[in-house]
Structure formats: C-alpha cells, structure tokens
A and B are shown apart, each in its own frame.
Chain A
Amino acid sequence: MLTATCHCGSVRVEIPRKPRRLTSCNCSICRRYGTLWAYYKAADVRIRCARGATRSYSWGDKSLRFVRCGTCGCITHWEAMHPTASSRMGVNARNLDAEAIANVRVRRLDGASTWKFLD
C-alpha cells in the first residue's frame, strides 16, 4: 500500500499499489491543477481525513468531482458523482513521494481536444 498526502497532511489517500502508468491531461481543469493521474478501482482506494476537511469542484456534465484539501488546496483525487460498484477513481500522484513515481511512464492525454494520447 502507498499513501498520497496533501501538503498540510489533512488528507491522505491510500492506494493498493504503485501506479503502472500516469496520465498528464491538457484539458482546462487538469492543466490548471497540474495533476498527474493514477487510476484505480474506487473500491480499492481509501480516503483518510476528518469530516469536512475536503472541498470538491465539478463542472461540465458533472459526472465527476475533483476533490482537494480545504486547507492547502492540494488536489487529492477525482471520483464519480454517482458511484457504482465498478466506478474508477483518479488519484493525484503528485501527492506521492517523488521516488514512488520516479520511473513510472507518464502519458500525455489530449483531454482538451481529441481525447487521444499524444505520445
């Protein structure tokens, strides 16, 4: 298990294993957040924080919400607005120790336009 922690330590995201691949997306929200996404089954991820410690933001078709720490603003993950048993989750790997992702391939997703990988 690995833990991704926001800057102030209020929110911890536990993931079952090191990501095999990371996604850097250029869509209007991801590029602003500067996120690197690692994807997991939502059921395999645990969010550890006090009640009320997070804030979320949703836009467009509002099928997802982006969750962040309410104190330091670090984006911790995205999750389905209406989760099902097979829902996936995007965990922001920027909050992992740098060593944990040092050799993981980053793919660039053209979320701004074609939704295809650019590399």
Chain B
Amino acid sequence: MSAFVASTARPRGNSWIEHDAAERPVNMPEPLTLRGRCHCGNIAFALEWPGGSPEISARACGCSFCVKHGGVWTSNPKASLAVTIRDPALMSPYAFGTQTATFHVCARCGAVPIVTSEIDSHTYAVVNVNVLENVDPAWLRHAPADFEGESVESRLARRKRNWIPDVRVRNAGS
C-alpha cells in the first residue's frame, strides 16, 4: 500500500484551513479553495489555490492511461491539498510504465480524483479537473500535455517543480 493511502495520521496543527489563516500575512490575497470529490464521495479533497486571479491549468494528458480516462489534471507548486478518505479499503491504486505515479481509483464509483508521486519520501499530487465542484470554467486554462519519452529523472524533477507539494491525507473513518 502506498504511503498516500497508509497515511492516516492527523493533519499537522489544527485543520489545514485554520493552519493557513494563522500564517497568512494580512496583505496577501485570499486563497481560493477548490473542492472536488469522486462521484460517491469516498475520496474528497480541498485544494487551496494561491490567492489572486485564479488561472488554473487544465492539462489533458496524452499518455495511454489519461487518454482512456479523459484525464485533465491541475496542480500548483504553491497550493495545498487536503484529502479526506471515508473508507481506505475502497481505494484502488493503479500504476504503470515507470511505476512512479499512482492513480487513485475509487473502488466504489470508479472516478480518479487524485494522482500521487512519492519522490524522496515526499508525496506530490495532481488533481483531476473533471471532479472539481466549484470551479468557474472561465478560470481554466486548457492545454494538451505530452510527456512521452521523458526520462524518469526528468519526470520526477518536473513533478517536484510543478505538482502540489503540500499533501495531507485524513482518514475520515478513523
């Protein structure tokens, strides 16, 4: 089982929202909280997008998995992601190719809200734009993405630069 699923420790500090409110300087724009979930609600997340005008990348990945799933992903290296899982037994991980990314399929409804990558014992994530619930379509910046042929080293370095580095997982059932 990946560290992502196994991580049922309580979030550091209070809730992640309170944590942010306490540390954000008063002159910084309000962050935007994007909420998403699989269809049955087993996997839900709150993505705290950095403040200012929201321009949210929406990458339609051209890899063999994402094409079949119609996957459109977003991330921001300054964002924070709080994931809530009701029943960890209903998480179905899938990896292929370089085995460096784990696609978290909900074993009840089959949606894929999150992908994670463990790099140097740290969890990075992207979320599926298709499962967002409160996004204004005008915020989305759609673009194709193709990482075919990229070396594993370059791939991991890119994820460290671009993926969400602050990922907290809470098991709501515990």
Contact = CB atoms under 8 A, between A and B. Distances in A.
Which of B108, B110, B130 neighbours the largest number of chain A CB atoms within 10 Å of its CB?
B110
A83 interface: no
A33 B94 contact: no
Contacts of B70: 33-36, 94
**Among A32, A57, A70, A92, residue most surrounded by chain B Cβ atoms (within 10 Å):** A32
A72 B94 contact: yes
B62 to A, nearest CB: 9
B101 to A, nearest CB: 13
A98 interface: yes
A68 interface: yes
Contact of B110 (A28, A36, A66, A95): A66
- Size bracket of the A interface: 20 to 34
Given A32-B39, A71-B94, A73-B94, A55 B110 contact: yes
A36 B96 CA distance: 23
Query: For this complex, into which size category does the number of interface residues on chain B fall?
Result: 20 to 34
Given A29-B39, A32-B38, A73-B94, A55 B68 contact: no
Contacts of B71: 34
Contacts of B94: 7-8, 71-73
B39 A28 contact: yes
B124 interface: no
A55 B40 CA distance: 14
A75 B106 CA distance: 12
Contacts of A38: none
A68 B67 contact: no
B99 to A, nearest CB: 13
B69 A94 contact: yes
Contact of B39 (A8, A36, A59, A92): A59
Given A31-B130, A74-B68, 19 more contacts: A7-B64, A7-B65, A7-B69, A7-B96, A8-B94, A28-B39, A32-B109, A33-B111, A34-B69, A34-B72, A55-B107, A57-B39, A57-B109, A59-B39, A73-B69, A74-B69, A75-B69, A92-B68, A94-B70
Interface of A: 6-8, 28-29, 31-36, 55, 57, 59, 66, 68, 70-75, 92, 94-95, 98
24 contacts: A6-B68, A7-B65, A8-B96, A32-B39, A32-B109, A32-B128, A33-B70, A34-B69, A34-B71, A36-B70, A57-B40, A57-B109, A59-B109, A68-B110, A70-B92, A72-B94, A73-B92, A73-B105, A74-B69, A75-B110, A92-B68, A94-B67, A94-B70, A98-B67
